[in-house]
Each structure stands twice: as C-alpha cells, then as structure tokens.
Structure 1
Amino acid sequence: MIVIAALLIGAVIGWFRAARMGGGRSDKLQYAAAHAMGLAVLGLFLTVFLTRMG
C-alpha cells in the first residue's frame, strides 16, 4: 500500500515540477515517471523495513 501511495505522490510531484518549469506534455510525463519510480523504490524499502521490524 505504501508503494502505491508513493508512486502516485511521485507522479504528481514530477508533473507539477515539470509544469512549473514550463515543460511540454512529454516533459511532464517524463518527470512524472521518473519521480514515480524513485518514490516507489523508496516506498518499497520502507515497506520491507517496516515488515522486518515487526
């Protein structure tokens, strides 16, 4: 669940960062994908950590 939430939050953050910098649609999609993947990986590590801790 944490991974899905992190993925969606990352996509939104990436989209708005590209929009703020004046990027086109492809720039927004690329930023959204990159941020989504990055935060999804962090969410995965957090999920594994929390599962292992208890």
Structure 2
Amino acid sequence: MFVIGGFLLGAVAGGLRARARGGRPADILQYAFVHGLILALVGLFLTIYLDRMLRV
C-alpha cells in the first residue's frame, strides 16, 4: 500500500514540479515517472521495515 501511494504522490509532485519549471509534456512525464519511482522505492523499504518490526 505504501508503494502505490508513494508512486502516486511522487508522480503528482514530479509532474507539478516540471510544469512549474515550464517543461514540455515529455519533460513532465519524465519528472513524474522518476519522482514516482523514487517514492515507490521509499515506500517499499518502509513496507519491508514495518513488516519485519511487527512480525512476532
């Protein structure tokens, strides 16, 4: 769940950041994808950490 949420949040943030800088549609897509991928990886590590900490 954190992975999907991280990807969506990162994609929106990256797209808005590229649009604010006056990027073309290809730039906006690239920023959205890269930011989404980074936050999805953060969400993945958070999920693994929480799973290991809460497992008895």
Please give the TM-score of this superposition, normalised by the length of structure 1.
0.98
1:1-54 matches, cutoff 5 A: 1-54=1-54
Gaps of at least 5 residues in structure 2 are none
- Identity %, equivalent residues: 52
Gaps of at least 5 residues in structure 1 are none
Pairwise CA RMSD of aligned residues?
A: 0.3
C-alpha deviations, 1:16-54, integer Å up to 9, x for none? 000000001000000000000000000000000000001
Please give the TM-score of this superposition, normalised by the length of structure 2.
0.95
* Moved >4 Å (runs of 4+): none
Computing the radius of gyration from Cα coordinates, the structure with the larger value is 2
Number of residue pairs aligned between Structure 1 and Structure 2: 54
